Amino acid sequence: MKILTIVGARPQFIKAATVSRVIQQTPGVEEVLIHTGQHFDKNMSDVFFDEMGIPEPEYNLGISSMSHGAMTGRMLEGIEQILLDEKPDWVLVYGDTNSTLAGALAASKLHIKVAHVEAGLRSFNIRMPEEQNRILTDRISTVLFCPTDVAIDNLHSEGYEGLDIRVSKAGDVMYDAALYYGDRAKQPEWISDLNVHNGFALATVHRAENTDNPDRLREIILAINEVHITTPVILPLHPRTKLIIQKLGLHLDVHIVEPVGYLEMVYLLKTCDFVLSDSGGVQKEAYYFKKSCFVLRDETEWTELVEHGANKIVGANRQAIVTAATERVSDIDFSHELYGAGDAANKIVAYLQHYGHVGRAID
C-alpha cells in the first residue's frame, strides 16, 4: 500500500511525524511525502524535519507567499502531476491549510482515496480561510479521522451518516506527539539571556483574522505589552506577523525571539506559566502540558477546552486579555482524556490498511 502524505505548515509537520513513524514500522506500507513549501523559512520548516525524524520529502513544490487563490491553484497543479506519476492508494492530508485543500481536491478529481486527519472541526466562522478549507476537505474525503466527540457530533449535524464517507474517532495525533517528544524537550540557548527565571508567559500570534486587521493586531500588541510589565512574555514571532507589525509601525515591548523548533516549543510550553495564542495547535499543546491558554480569537474549534475551564476566549480585547492574564485560575483539572489515549497514529494506519473502499459508516 502506498500512502502519499501532503504537508506544508508547522502543525502538519508535527502531526505527520507521528503517523510517518508508524508507517515506517508497518510492513507493506510505503509513504511518499510532498512538502508544498507553504512554510518555507528554515525555522518554520527544515528544523521540524531535522529534529522530529520526519523522512526527507520526495517532493518540495516551493509554493508560498501568494494569495489564497494563487497558492491553492499552484499547489493543485503541482500535486496533480505527482499523483499521476506516483499512483498512490491513499492521499493523507492534515488540518485546514491551503495545502490540505489542494491535496484533497487533486486526489478527489483523480478518484484517489483521501484520508483527512483532524476532520470534523468547526469554528462556525465561515469567513476564516481555515474553516472553508476544513469544510471542503471533509466533504470530498473518503475517510475522516476525528480527534474528539465534538468533531463527530459536528459531522452528524451536517448529515455525514448519509454520505459515502467513513468517519472514525481516532483521537488527536498531536497528543501522540506530546507524549513521544515531551521528554525530548530542548532548552533554547537564548533563554538564559532573558530575565524569566521567576516565570513567563508564552505568546504566539499568526492568524490572518488578527494580523490582517490592524485594529485587532494593535489591541493584542498593547495587551501583551501590558502583560509583560508584570509577567515577562516570550513571543516567537512568525515572519509574516513581523513584517505586518513593521509596516503598521507598531511596537512590541516583550521578549521577541525567532520561530522555534518543536522541541524548543515543548520546552517553552512545559516551563511557562500560561499561554496567549491564536493558534489552534498551541491551544491543545498547552493542555497537554497542563497550562491554561487565553485564546486570542472570538471562537475556537476546541470548545471542549473552554468547557473544561482550561482555555478562555479573550478575543482581541485589550482589557479582557490583561484581566485574564492577571486573574488566571490555578486549580484547573487537566486529567480528562479529551483527545484519546495517545495511539491515534496507530489507529489511522491500521484503518487505512483495513478499509480500501468507500463505505457509509460512522465508527
Q: Catalogue the active-site residues.
A: 206
With cell 502531476, the residue in question is 81
Helix (H), strand (E) at residue 138: helix 129-139
How many residues appear in the chain? 363
Helix (H), strand (E) at residue 294: strand 293-295
Q: What are phi and psi of 129, to 5 degrees?
A: -55, -35
Q: What are phi and psi of 35, to 5 degrees?
A: -105, 115
Q: At what angle do helices 280-288 and 10-24 cross, to 10 degrees?
A: 60
Helix (H), strand (E) at residue 2: strand 2-7
Task: For residues 340 and 337, give the distance between their C-alpha atoms in angstroms, rounded to a whole number.
Answer: 6
Contacts of 185 (CB under 8 A, 6+ apart): 263, 264, 266, 267, 270
Q: At what angle do helices 262-271 and 10-24 cross, to 10 degrees?
A: 110
